[in-house]
A and B are shown apart, each in its own frame.
Chain A
Amino acid sequence: MKLRANLVIGGALFALAILVGLLAPWLAHTDPVLDANLMNAEEPPSWTWWFGTDGQGRDIYSRVVYGARISLTVGIVSQLINSVIGVALGLSAGYFGGWWDDVVNALTNLMLAIPSLIFALAIMAVLGPGLTSLLIALGLTNWSFTCRIARASALSLRSQGYVQAATVLGYGDFRIMFTQLLPNMLGPLIVIGTLGMGSAVLSEAALSFLGLGVRPPFPSWGSMLSEARDQITTAPWLSVFPGLAIFLTVLGLNLLGDGLRDSLDPQSRSRRT
């Protein structure tokens, strides 16, 4: 398989973000929360303070490094929840059809009609801020695309010869769904999952920016942006670096998603050869 530029760059950016998150304790220069020193407040970027310091004298570089943990956890876990819900609903709806399909369709349309961020906000308002409620809120609000794709794939795969053959050979419904349908629709699901992770990182930033995400003093890229808003003219490095981190991670995930789509799509694969 020829490696595509978007696959490589996207994969590298995403891998870098994951590595930074995993290795945060070793990469960070100072503790992101405790090492505040007002004597060093609002230092611009320098050799000592790579990304500068904030109003409490905390090292922005260390906070961005630790922030990766939260952003990626939210991105990955909430998208996993979305994928599981979306696949379970979409796959069963496409396979069984009938009234269950109608119910799932109605539910999907409902979810698509409500802006997911507003819905997530409402859930957060009920559950209160914090990482767990963030995961739940984002995990429950973005499954509609996955569901649509799983349903459409199940519908088209259901009439494939091997699915009918499996029926004839006495496979039960669940066995058919898990051994015949799911593996054959994995490609598009991985793509939509990767892209969804990018948008979950953005949603986390947005919710944290609105003060509903991770609570200060713990660093998340969105909450850092939120805190930096007032000093954007006097200390722009406070917003530039977390913003750049969000940008690169989401860019990486989107490129990775596109690259995966190109290489997992059998039609584009045969076009190339």
Chain B
Amino acid sequence: MTAAPLLEVEDLRIDLDDGARRVAAAEGVSFRISRGETFGLVGESGCGKSITALSLIGLLRPPLSIGSGVIRFEGREIQHLSAAAQRDLRGNRIAMIFQEPMTALNPVSPVGRQIAEMFVLHKGKSWREANQLAVEALASVRVPAPERRVHDYPHQLSGGMRQRVMIAIALACGPDLLIADEPTTALDVTVQAEIIELMRNLCAERGTAILMISHDLGLVANVCRRVAVMYAGRIVEERGSADIFRAPAHPYTQGLVDSLPRLGSRAALGRTRLKEIAGVVPAITSFPDGCRFNPRCAQASDICRTNAPTADFLEAGGLVRCHHHA
């Protein structure tokens, strides 16, 4: 690779300080995102995917903090930047959209103003220009009659429309990286598809890289070129999204793929039970020794209970952390 990747996370460890001791809510997290790439981070609730995203934009709040590791944005380390410098990065170069379009908009401010504020804040535009740009931004996310919609308050818009507004706000300043944390979880399935499509198209047009965080492996694989699967604070597998479905390498990923219902599978396989992964995610304070997946893993052997697996780099690209991976 000639140019430095857009975002580079190296051996990131996030500490959770519960007063008595520090435990690692995430550790050894490493990944890279190139310019314009789409990258997915998948895992169950509490696996550390959201806090990883928050750490990227410097928004970890006590009791969470970055324990060690390096985060580079355009080759520059950003984890120790001053508050003002991080603020300048946020919204401007790195934007984020949230899970809840219902609550992520200020209820007492017209949506146009909330979009326009981004231009005033980061681009130093006058309010006049900014309001004009807000109409264009709203048009770009395909909100009908944007010149009228800018005067609407969030409660006058549907969930899908609000998420479009959120996307317009996030992409207003032409960021290089868009972090989407479960962007469609709160929406209807049909609206979900539209929003994903819109987000993907807009980012492709503008060369914006996407870091998509979700528990929905199917959705992420659909949007992203590469996927990392997190389990209990560690990345267990990172692959191209087509490969991960075809031949999951880690038992956990295998379990996730098997637990997805497949359309038409009944005709091919007959009536079968959908598989599940036995057990629950261990609590952050009591991660097991060795491979953290070992209590739930069918293939677990003695080494899994004592030694944490290191990353095996696959020939086809990607990596997996499992002792049993051949």
Contacts and interface: CB of A to CB of B under 8 A. Distances in A.
A binds B: yes
Interface of A: 160-162, 164-172, 175, 179-180, 183-184, 186
Interface in B53-99: 57, 59, 87-92, 95-96, 98
Nearest to B103: A161
Interface residues of B, number: 27
A168 B87 CA distance: 8
A47 to B, nearest CB: 53
Given A160-B103, A161-B98, A168 B91 contact: yes
Contacts, number: 61
Given A165-B98, A179-B117, A170 B106 contact: no
Given A171-B121, A175-B121, A166 B57 contact: no
A162 B122 contact: no
A169 B116 CA distance: 12
Interface in B91-145: 91-92, 95-96, 98, 100, 102-109, 117-118, 121-122
Contacts of A184: 106-108
A168 B109 CA distance: 18
Contact of A168 (B59, B105, B117, B122): B59
B170 interface: yes
Given A170-B88, A170-B121, 11 more contacts: A160-B103, A161-B102, A162-B103, A164-B98, A164-B104, A167-B59, A168-B90, A169-B91, A171-B87, A172-B87, A175-B121
A240 B92 CA distance: 66
Contacts of A167: 59, 90
B169 interface: yes
B106 A180 contact: yes
Given A175-B121, A179-B117, A184-B106, A168 B100 contact: no
Contacts of B117: 171, 179
Contact of B87 (A164, A170, A180, A183): A170
Contact of A165 (B105, B107, B121, B122): B105
A184 B59 CA distance: 23
10 contacts: A161-B104, A162-B106, A165-B166, A167-B90, A169-B95, A170-B88, A170-B89, A170-B91, A170-B121, A184-B106
